[in-house]
Structure 1
């Protein structure tokens, strides 16, 4: 075999090896991407919503994903922000990605409705109306299911899945969640969700979302929630109650923890062990009131508030 023949054979062997290596890397990449996607789905199915979003974004950033799959993944991310995290600005961001980056996606029709819903929740009614007019002429395509679990109820353009039902259970106070461990109570909760959805859609069709009383009540509710959230954030690190604090509070307020007869006379003093939980709650409320008052006084000083008590009639 001459020198040229040897070189030719070496080149062929090298090419085969490179192809084999490339094929192995491609297969490994596909395996890794599937594992990453399964992890993101597992996070979502188990209520770890922010972790799920993070993993979906890593999946999109690190692996070659075909356009339709990419659009579906963005839709899943958007729905997590909308349905689970109540972050309508982030949801809007990802719905817009689908709307403008993937115009051929079969999610276009449903994405338009979701954009309207986000804008309404962000109190951008004029923008929502503009989008609605634009979307009115579009055909509504079938939408890939993005909520985990089987569909439990089909309301036409809205489906309620097992994931939706489980999520509603987690929103209940901890002491109530045990009530939803059996099928019958979950069935009742599902019926409640269906009723609320149907009534809401009916009210919306009648234009009650624009009713002045509804708008005012919504504003007042939003205002109260904002105040509550502000105090919650401000007080979170300021109220630190130790076990000994609870007992000291009990000793200082023993008259609050007595048992009285029908005439209001004290029958007995309740021991600390019997009322420890209630004492802890009372102490927490007392601390919250004290700290809240400090915040209010600070704000009043900052704004230089003047109160004219003599003008009160």
Structure 2
């Protein structure tokens, strides 16, 4: 020992290698198994998600798509009595039809309305007939469309005269420059009908002092409501033979 030194220093023998800890593995067995399990679970979830999605409908045209003729499909479904399915096909045709003119669109909508009528869906039928009217206001089917609208309103429990007054369908004292409009059916009782022309003629036959009571747009509408209501009541009474004298 050396004097003046409190601690003795022991040195390792020269040439002895220093022990180092082995490098830590980035992926051991446990982490590898966990990663594989996560990927497998993700793949299963993706497969279930894709399988659960509805198959997209056939393309209606465009690049790489198969064009489906919905009008032809509707005709086939209608021929076998599948009215609701045929109506859905016509609805789709109206949505995607690229070559539709106002006239053809009105005819399709009119056919669609009749299909809904046959299926007993009066609200959907009324919607289709209104669309037919809007597609082509001057359609040659306007009289039939008006009649079908009245029928739908009757089946839905709506007042025929009131509904036609609200929709401005009855224009008494108008120009009457279109014969087909004047012959439009306003109300129907079985096989009997009330046309716009009948209301106009009844209005013209009023004495001057009575005609003044129905002047203006609202007055003419009120007269139309009154005429239709009275005519409906009279014809129903006649059919029930209430107008016969029991003696």
TM-score (norm 1): 0.35
> Which structure carries more helix by proportion?
1
Kindly name which structure, 1 or 2, has the bigger radius of gyration based on alpha carbons.
2
**Larger relative contact order (CA 8 Å, sep ≥ 6):** 2
